[in-house]
């Protein structure tokens, strides 16, 4: 049976949810129909535009730009503060509706999710009809709109959902790639940031089609592993499956929004070391070990990407988690300035679980285990700053 995958994305989620909530409370002015935006505190790092209305966009307001710049373009811009608890509430309602249509729903962020609709035509009809039923029900019951992309894999479904907005359903099956996707600028491809666009343009590659038809060896020579990844994406190859399995103990993770845009690999990996220390210490505190490590990156354009790796055996060792995180980072990062980095662990098990021994590093692993225990003991007794890694001390001096 051919796979049928939906990608459902809430249109301007934060602004839409704020608008709906205010209308339900009795306000007559719809934020979506005026020049408006959700924005953080302009006196802090988060004093930027998080979501904008169509009229604000027409004035030139961009997501991620400072509030001051937005007000220069649109002096009458109505600004509202973000409300995380409200977003969580509407996100849950949104996902609940999706679960009525598919037994396999994977939420990938607060405002988007994938549904495996394979074999569901007997219940909901043709995929396009089913998508319209979902879209119309969300609008009718919750008051906001979504875009839905349909394909046979997650990558193409996501690309399709980014076509014309709002409140639309689009398909992008393999046979439609040439007509619908290859004509787009290369910057529209998932996983291609501004710095990658520049590198590709320098190679004479401007469209997704040109990227798809470029020799992969040329791309790898200029972009390393990332070149191979985006070449596959340009050809519509995305093999990851949808999983609705709950990630056990989601709390074993940490992320940080950085006070400056990180543009150097070394600086990013020092930040990852700090995050790995925090995550590993919490795992050890709870006598747990992780089987999966993932890294997430948010760049200065608010593009989010993440990647994960299943380990040979579970661990709660700082150095092991950091090593994997750095390898994932190398695969992910396209050179774009970074504003947020995160490490997440999953599929955790008790540290009493039998581990698969690595015969070539058993002695080293044992020493690392003793070192971690010693560090934890000192910090528990004298505080977390009682003992610091040299690289992290140097980072503090350099700031």
Looking at the annotation, which residues are catalytic?
112
Q: Is 149 helix (H, G, I), strand (E, B) or coil?
A: strand
Q: How many CB atoms lie within 10 A of CB 141?
A: 12
**E strand or H helix at 340, and its extent?**
strand 338-350
Nearest to 274 by CA among 399, 395, 398: 395
Tell the burial category of 24 from Cβ atoms under 10 Å away from its Cβ (0-12, 13-18, 19+).
Answer: exposed
Quote the tokens at residue 248: 């056990």
Please state, as a whole number, how many other Cβ atoms lie within 10 Å of the Cβ of residue 150: 24
- Judged by DSSP in three states, 319 sits in helix
Rounded alpha-carbon distances, angstroms, from residue 238 to 160, 172, 267, 296: 14, 13, 31, 19
Task: Count the Cβ atoms, other than its own, within 10 Å of residue 272.
Answer: 23
- Cα(166)–Cα(148) distance, integer angstroms: 10
Number of H helices, E strands in the chain: 15, 12
For residue 251, report the phi and psi dihedrals to the nearest 5 degrees: -70, -15
Report d(CA 76, CA 132) in Å as an integer: 36
Q: Identify the burial level of 28 via C-beta atoms within 10 angstroms of its C-beta, where 0-12 means exposed, 13-18 middle and 19 or more buried.
A: exposed
């Amino acid at each position: 049976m051919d796979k049928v995958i939906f990608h459902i994305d809430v249109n301007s989620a934060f602004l839409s949810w704020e608008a709906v909530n205010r209308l339900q409370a009795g306000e007559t002015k719809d934020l979506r129909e005026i020049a408006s935006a959700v924005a953080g505190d302009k006196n802090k790092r988060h004093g930027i535009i998080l979501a904008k209305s169509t009229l604000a966009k027409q004035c030139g307001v961009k997501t991620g730009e400072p509030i001051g710049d937005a007000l220069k373009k649109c002096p009458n811009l109505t600004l509202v503060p973000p409300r995380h608890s409200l977003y969580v509430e509407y996100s849950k309602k949104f996902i609940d509706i999706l679960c009525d249509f598919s037994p396999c729903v994977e939420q990938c962020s607060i405002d988007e999710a994938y549904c495996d609709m394979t074999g569901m035509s007997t219940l909901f009809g043709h995929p396009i009809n089913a998508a319209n039923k979902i879209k119309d029900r969300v609008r009718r019951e919750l008051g906001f709109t979504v875009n839905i992309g349909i394909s046979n894999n997650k990558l193409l479904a996501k690309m399709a959902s980014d076509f014309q907005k709002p409140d639309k359903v689009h398909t992008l099956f393999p046979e439609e790639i040439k007509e619908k996707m290859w004509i787009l600028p290369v910057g529209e491809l998932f996983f291609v940031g501004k710095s990658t666009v520049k590198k590709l343009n320098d190679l004479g590659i401007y469209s997704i089609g040109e990227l798809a038809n470029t020799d992969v060896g040329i791309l790898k020579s200029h972009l390393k592993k990332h070149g191979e990844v985006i070449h596959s994406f340009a050809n519509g190859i995305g093999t990851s499956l949808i999983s609705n399995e709950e990630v056990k103990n989601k709390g074993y993770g940490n992320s940080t929004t950085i006070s400056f845009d990180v543009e150097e690999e070394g600086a990013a990996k020092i930040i990852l070391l700090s995050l790995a220390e925090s995550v590993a210490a919490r795992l050890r505190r709870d006598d747990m070990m992780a089987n999966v490590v993932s890294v997430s990156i948010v760049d200065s354009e608010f593009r989010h990407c993440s990647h994960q790796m299943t380990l040979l055996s579970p661990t709660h060792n700082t150095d092991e988690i950091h090593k994997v995180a750095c390898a994932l980072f190398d695969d992910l990062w396209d050179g774009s300035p970074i504003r947020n980095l995160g490490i997440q662990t999953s599929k955790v098990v008790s540290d009493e679980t039998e581990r698969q021994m690595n015969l070539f590093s058993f002695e080293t692993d044992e020493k690392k285990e003793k070192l971690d225990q010693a560090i934890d003991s000192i910090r528990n007794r004298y505080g977390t700053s009682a003992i610091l890694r040299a690289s992290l001390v140097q980072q503090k001096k350099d700031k």
